[in-house]
Amino acid sequence: MESHRVQDMMQMMASKIRAIASTISDEDVENFIEKLLNAKRIYVMGAGRSGLVAKAFAMRLMHLGLQAFVVGETITPALNAGDIMVVFSGSGRTRTVADIAETAKEIGAKICLITSNPDSRIGKISDCIVIIEHQRDEVGDDAVEFEIRQMMGDHKSFAPLGTLFETTSMIFADAVISRMMEITKTDENALKNRHTNIE
């Protein structure tokens, strides 16, 4: 198998993420941010690596001064009507995550889904959806096509499945926080004051 420099793979990922960013709907992002800012409390959830992205997002929301909780943590309080649940799920149909989202919806929470698959089980019950697109144009060059498929996890050999969804979701989540800092006129010092001081 041909070897690749790590830096080259980073460039490939960055290029793809840039292309994905250009496909995200302004209207969907504005709707998502509005719901976050108007929520009583924000719960975040995801499975596997998407769950790690969700936890990182919850931490940033806390730094912003919002009440944010991670579903499944021992100190997470009961969810109520008026709360919002943000779900990170590329497929939109991970069973455990979908079960919890449906329960949250029955309780009266709003569901916001970050996904590559809006026409999914979770997508059908969501109040807002941001699509992190995984579709791509066909590439004529077989060697380049192979490399892109590897990076996107279309083959099992060296790129983990879902890599670009999760990496793009992480960057999207951080960009949302940056935008919310602008809207709420929160400076970085306020975030630093909420950062943990017992590490």
Structure confidence by residue, pLDDT tens digits, 63-101: 999 999 999 999 999 999 999 999 999 999 999 999 999
**What is the predicted pLDDT for the residue at 162?**
62
Angle separating helix axes 163-184 and 6-21, nearest 10 degrees:
60
DSSP 125: G
Active site residues: 166
**What is the predicted pLDDT for the residue at 9?**
86
Q: What kind and span of H or E run contains 47?
A: none
Q: How is the chain split into domains, by residue range?
A: 25-134+164-185
| Residue 135 predicted with pLDDT over 80 | no
What digits encode the pLDDT tens for the residues 152-161? 555 443 345 5
Query: Considering the chain, what percentage of its residues have pLDDT values greater than 90?
Result: 68
Residue with tokens 């970085």: 188
Torsion over CA: 175, 180, 183, 189 (sign): negative
What is the C-alpha to C-alpha distance for residues 7 and 170, in angstroms, rounded to an integer?
Answer: 19
Domain 25-134+164-185 CATH assignment equals 3.40.50.10490: yes
In 3D, which of 180, 166, 164, 178 has the Cα closest to residue 19?
164
Q: What is the mean pLDDT of the chain?
A: 86
**What is the predicted pLDDT for the residue at 29?**
98
Are the beta carbons of 114 and 88 closer than 8 angstroms? Answer: yes
Global pTM value: 0.83
